[in-house]
Each structure stands twice: as structure tokens, then as C-alpha cells.
Structure 1
Amino acid sequence: MRFALSQEQQDFSATLDAYLSSVDTAAAVRSWAAGEHGPGLKIWRGLAEVGVPALMVPERFDGIGADAVELVVAFERLGYHAVPGPWVDTAAVLPALLEDELLADVAAGDTLASVAAPPEVPYALDADVAGLRVRVQDSGLSVFIPGRALSSVDGARRLFTAEPGDPIGTSTDPARAFDLGALATAAQLLGAGQWLLDTTVAYARQRRQYGREIGQYQAVKHLLADVATRLELARPLLYGAAVADETPTRTRDVSAAKVAAADAAHLAARTGLQVHGAIGYTDEHTLGLRLTKVRALVGAWGTQAYHRSRVLEALV
């Protein structure tokens, strides 16, 4: 049996790619890191027009009611283009936490959400711009108050401590919400890793040293081939975990996908920097935006050690 994305899913991915290629996401990332949210929110509204925030929102709240595969398709594109903002919290996690009319505003792109779920997600992302701030403790939900701002290796990931506020009820499925957060993060990592590979291959084809393109050297070919292999091995794990959503193997499959995608993206980042050389360290080059993004996402929604332990527990 052959498993592949449907034509509709491929068209959705192409639509997102066309839109995000037409806007300056790099400038939006830099503005977001500086505390200027305007350019990033403009991209948010553009993505809302094609239904990204509405994907996991039930139809009764004006959402699309899509499944986890469509979520992965979208977040792979978001990761490829390094779109700033609390996308995981808003589009992946929140709809699994709440069944409330508030989700209609989320689906329309009018409300951004920030979610803290200690101990694995102790800090809140972009709480300064989020209109809905939710703290998860076991199965209980409460509004949180943004506290001290924290620094991140990725300047566009603005983190805050989350001080517990008034309770707002009980979560519908906190375990699934966490797994969807990890799954969406894994998809972002895979997308970022693919961008790093594509960009590094293009650079190796045009950068000349000793009279020839550096991509013609066998050592460089081997480095890039290793990255391509790791990304391609991670992709079926990612989509397999999406298919396994709401099945008994979901936790194991999501953790395996997160580990594989994070390792592949990290290798892509290291290789991209090695091939680019000193230019990769500069603030002006967009490579740096993906390097810091990957480094931050590796530990987001569960560290590598945490997810490896979940896979091990499932196996034994």
C-alpha cells in the first residue's frame, strides 16, 4: 500500500508556500524579535484567510475540523519559512484544550493564544501579544498573568514566566493537546531543516573556491547527502505520528517523530553553517534565523531526553 498526501493536501501546501514566498518573513522575524509585531500579525492575517488558525477548530466554532495530517502539512511550511508568532499554542494546542466560543475568534485569526503547561512547557510564548493566555496544570485550566520576560537563543521566541490566575475550567484532553504541540513543533523542525538543506545546496552550487564550485567536492557532497537522508527518514515518522493521532500509539509515535525531526534539523543547521562558513554567522544572512530557530525548537514542547524516555517506556 502506498501512503501519500492527497491532491487537496498537496494543493494546500503549495498555496501556503506561494503566499509565504511572496511576503518578507525574514523582516517579520527581525521585527518580532525587536518587539514590533505589525509585520508578523499581517502575515498571521494572511494565513488566517487560507484557514491555518482554523484547522483544528471544530466546525461548530466556525473552524475547519481538519485532522493532524493537515496540521503537519501547514506547520512544515510555517517552519520552512520561519513564520514568527505563537502558532503551535494557537493552532495546534488550544483547540484540543478548550471547547468554547472563544475558538471562533481563534479560527478567524483575531485571537492569538499563549499556553504554559509545566513542567515540560514552563514558560509562555509571546504572552505579550496573545489575547488568550492559558496555563495547564494536570487537567485544570487557568488564565495566567505574564511575569518576567526571559531571553531565548531565538530572539523571535519571546518567553515569559506564567503566574497562575483565575481558573477557567477543565481541559477536554490535555494529553492530546501536549502531543499536538510536540507534533506541530516537529513539523516546524522538519520544515526548517529542509530550508537549511535547500539553501546550503544552492550556496554550494554557486560558491567557488580553487576554481570550482564547492558543491563539486566529495566531502561537501557527503555532508549534504547525510542531511538529506536524515530528513527523509524523519518525514515518514512525522506523518505516521499524525495518522496515529487519537490512537493508542499516539504518544510513542509523536515522541519518535519529535526526536527524529529535531536530530535531522540540528544536523542540517550544523552542516549549513559549516558549508556557508563565516557568512553564516552574520546577522544579515537569513541562515542565522533558521539556526537559532532550530536550536530553540529542539527543546520546545518536550526535550529530546523527555521524548526518548517516552519511546523507551512504550517499548518496554
Structure 2
Amino acid sequence: MRKTGEKLSPYVMTFPSLFLTLALGIYPILWAMRYMFYSYPGYGAKKFIGFDNFTRLFHDAEYGRSVVNTLVYAGGKIVITLPVALLLAVILNRAFRGRNLLKAIYFLPTVISTAVMSVVFYVIFNSYNGILNQYLMRYGIVNTNVDWLGVKLSMLTMIIIAIWGAIGNYMLLFLAGLQNIPSDIYESASIDGANPWQTFSRITVPLLGPVLQMIILLAITAALKGYESIMVLTEGGPVGKTEVMYLYVYKLFFPISSAGAAVEQQIGYGSAVGFVSALIVGAVTVGYFALSKRLNQVYE
């Protein structure tokens, strides 16, 4: 009886996680995939249309624009966030007064609700009475209000907000990696006369290799799938300038009506778009894995 209990205990302990993964992860994906080949507005009868949803998708200029916007958004976020997060981690890895307070301040954006954060940034970047414009005009930096959420600057504004929200998370991951590097190595480098840049480039970065690869992977997937702050601030506008892939998918499943206009829910087409978007994210991830193999060879 005791042996039977010991054999069953791992399955009993893992069952809740397995059940939640199947119910909230696997089943919704299979449910959505089933509708990729149907015309289904979310109510009434479903009509089988074969690959018509995919044909429509590859002729959908709005979706093509959202893919380009996603790559711009993700690239801008990653290229700035990771170097800044690494720099902050290197600084905060040293012992000085107030270090823990700074860690908490930088990490704070990670635990703030995206909706709340977006509302705060709307108050800051509002084109007419935003706090940022008020300060810029007060100190004579600009003579008129800057349209931060307009056609020209809206994507840049979204990238800035995304960077602010992500730096603290990646900073802590870099800190964890830095603290696993033995201090003896730095002491030996100092004795040999290595300057700070040589220590950073020839010791810190190579020894951070495995952690760096994991962080880059997390950053890529998070950036490609991010859309929450964009949805709150611009809803993909103006004129689609901030429309990203997963916001487009969201709007197909949960239409956002504008000025009282009726918008049709498109479960079938949304499933097809979501599936192709997932393939794009997967393709970028596979490409990164291929690149990471080369990085491994460099580190070795």
C-alpha cells in the first residue's frame, strides 16, 4: 500500500498543473484551430470555407502592416532595453548605499498593472494638456504641443513605454547571472591590469553567455506578443501606425467599436490570423536558436 502511494504521489502532485495547462492552454488553442477553416462570427451557424481565411489573410494589407509594425516595435524595444538593463545590472552588482532601494525602483514597473501604467502614460504624453508638453513648453524647449500619440511619433512613444516597463525585469535576470560569476576571476583580472572595459567585454559578457541567451529569447517572445499598452493608449491608431499582430488578433475576437460604429466579431478569420502570427513568432524564435548556436561556439 505504501509503495502504491509513493508511485501515485508524483501524479497527484502534478495533476493540478497538468489540468490547468490542458484546460487553459492546450484546449483554447485546439478550439481556435478548429475554426480556422470556418466562417464564424461568434454566433449562429458555422460555414466551412476551407482555406479561404488564409487566402484572405495573405491579401490583407492591414495585417501585413501589423507584422511590419510588430518587428519595428520589438526591434526598438529589444535593442535599447537589453543594453540598458545589463548596464544597470553591472552598476547595481557593486556594493554601495541605497543599492537595494534602486533595485526596487527599477523593478517597480514590472509589477504595475499594464492598464494602470498606460493611463498614467496617457496623462504624460497627452498631446494637448499632457505633463510632458507642459514642461517642454515651460522651459522653452518647444513652442507648441508635440503630438506624441500622433502619426509621426506614436510608435516611438509606444517603444519608450515598453522599454520603461521591461528594463527592471531583465535587470534582475542579469543581476542573477552576474552574482554567479566568481569574484576571484575579477580579482585576477585586476591584478593583471585589466581596465573596466576589458573586464566587461572579455570576462563579464562571455561568462553571462547562457543567461544572456535566455534573456534574449524571453525579450524576443515578449516583444513580439506585446500589445496591451498599445491597446489602451492608441487602439492601434492613428491610421494603423501602432497596429501590431496580436492587437489585430484581439480586435478580431473582441471588436473595439469606434464612435458607436458596429464592428463584427470574426472568430474564424481571427483564428487563422492568430495561427499565422504564432508561426511568425516561432520562425523568429527558431532563427534566434540558430544564431545562439554560433554564440555558443564563440563562448566556447
TM > 0.5 between the two? no
Normalized per residue, the structure richer in helix is 2
Rg larger in 1 or in 2? 2
Higher relative contact order, structure no. (Cα contacts within 8 Å, ≥ 6 residues apart) = 2
